[in-house]
Structures are given as structure tokens and as C-alpha cells.
Structure 1
Amino acid sequence: MSSLIKLLLVTGLLGMVGCSTLPPSNPNNLCDIFDEKSSWYKDAKKAERRWGSPVPIMMSMMYQESMFKHNARTPRTKILWIFPGPRKSDAFGYPQAKNAVWNEYQDQGGNSFARRDNFGDAIDFIGWYNKQSQKRSRIGLNDGYSLYLAYHEGHGGYNRGTYRQKNWLMNTAHKVDSRAQQYANQLQSCEERFKGSWWWPF
């Protein structure tokens, strides 16, 4: 009997862990996201205070990169059109950050144990990257369109204007900016209830 109870407890805990990593059920509404993921608002506001990047822009960028999937990866290539080959890049996690830039963030952001599949670390990374875009590419922290272009192309590529030959990328950046504005309007209508939560320390 005790073995059965232990098994049920372990199964229940695994189920809870699985649910905690599922993407939000309504990713198009920031209020619903923060209602469903009770710790995400606190993590996002912490990143905003640290780096100055607005929550709606960071969340819109994450939506575009991974649809809030903690273990998102780029698709595999095909060998002989059938067999799975190597992935197109080593981008991984909520922010779809590549190994090299993630390592740079770990060195400069002050957290060598940060993980790309951890939401708090991932949103902090996006805030950090946007701050680098302000420093290296002179992009305003409220300019969601340009911030996303620099996020996708890298600061060197953005500064050289590589995105100008990629209409699909500029269209995507407009979508990111539009979604950020939508998120901002939504958050304005519901933020007070998150600030009033018992776990909000400020």
C-alpha cells in the first residue's frame, strides 16, 4: 500500500512539473498569460527594472521566438530528404538564444547558472540583449521593431543593415512591435491585480 502511495505521489509531482512548463493557453493576451503563469509577471518586471526594457516588448519577442515553449529548438535538416540531420542552429529555449551569445550573457549578466529553458533567466536575457542593442546600435528601448531586428541579425548585422534585404524579417519585426503594443494595452488594464498579489514584494 505504501508503495502505491509513493508511486501516486511521484506521478502527481511529475504531472505538476509537466504542467508548469506548458506554454500559456492564450498567448495572445498578456493578462491571461500572467494569470495562468503566476510567477512570470514578477520575473518580467524584475528584468524590466534591471535592464529598462518594457515587459510588453520582451514578452512579444519571446512569443515570436518560441511561442513560450521552454524547450524550443530549430528544426532538423534532412539527409537525402528522409533522414534527420543536424539542426539549423544551436538556438534553444524560451529566447531561442544561440550558445555563443548565451555564454556572453552568462559572463556579463552575472549568472553563470542561467538556463535558457527557465523563464526567469530567459526574460532577463532578452532584457539584457535589448540593453546591448541600445548601447551598441543606439536603438531606443521602446522601439520594438528595431530591437527585434537587432535580436535576429545580431548587432553587427543590424548596424550593417543586413535586414534591408529580408522583407520577411522586416514584416516579422512589425508584427513583434504590433503585438508589443497590444500587450501594453492589455497590461494597462490588469496590472494592478498582479501588483497586489501576496508574492509581489514592492
Structure 2
Amino acid sequence: MGRRFTSAAPGAQGTSAEPAGPWTHDVHWAAELRSAIGVASLLLTALFVVDAASGRLDVTRGLLWSGLAFLVFAIMLPRRVSVRPGRLSARGMLTTGTVRTDSLVSVRWCDGVAQRLVLQDTRGSRVEIDPTVLTRNPAMWHVLDADSRTSIRRGTLRRGTTALRRLAQRIDRETAHGVFKVSGWR
């Protein structure tokens, strides 16, 4: 399975070859979007009902509750992660970040309340993604893994092989767990 590149138009200056290929998207993103909408809607409805029942609902409180529900939605809204050979893109509510995955400089694992994988390329572009997106989408992980190996071969990826190895082990563990679960082993 070879990688195809489109070349820049003759005479175009300052452009480089762009990777071609279909985008692979997070298959669970739509369900997470529906969950975020559902939770925010439920919260807004509950707040309106409680305030209306107590007789204290007015325009100011309605706007306050609407703002609170929107804030909950914004916090719960997952980034839309897409991968294709040579690129990873993560689109949030207000921003979109894209990195060249075939020319990565560093990959960091940030632990905490919400784990993050931080990817940075040779152009200085940086993207943060939730590693579970790659765990749940083997096709996305396959593309990123192949491109990170290209970065290692080219010598651009100097920091981050440990984070990638850790992620690969996590994905292997999750895959094995899923196989055992499906086959009836516990």
C-alpha cells in the first residue's frame, strides 16, 4: 500500500508536496456530540423547570441558565480528530489544529485529569488530542503509527518514541481485551 503525493503546480513557489489519501475520522464523535447536546439540554430544562416552579424565572435568570448550559456543552464537546497519510487534524469549537505526522518533532504524553497526546511537527504546528480517540479507532492509529515511523526514519522525531510506545502498548492491551471479551474469555 503505497503513499501517493500530489505535486505542486509547475512554477509555484514556496509550496511543498501535500500528502494525498482519504481522511479517517473518529467514528464515535457523533455519539459524543449527541451526548454533549443531551446533557446541556437536560441541564437547561431542569434549571428552567425548577425556577419556573419556584416562581423566580425571569429573563435574567433564563439567560444565566442558558449561558451555563452552553458552557457545559462547550466543555463536553469533543474535538473532531481526522487523520490521513501525512496529516492529523483536530477541530474544536473555535480552533482547528493540523500537524504533519510524517515530519513530527515531538510527541508528549500529558497525564492528569484528562490525558492528552501532544504532537508537534517541524513547522512548529502543535495539536493536542485525547489518546482514547486512537485507541477506539484502529484505522486512525495505523496511519499515525506508519507516519511516526517515517518521522523516526527521517530523523525528525527526537522526543516522543516512549510516548508512542506507551500508546501502542495501550492500544494492544485494549485490542486484546476486546478479542477476549468477544470470544467469551474474561
TM-score, normalised via structure 2 length: 0.31
Q: Which of structures 1 and 2 has the bigger CA Rg?
A: 2
Q: Say which structure is richer in helix.
A: 1
Larger strand proportion of the pair:
2
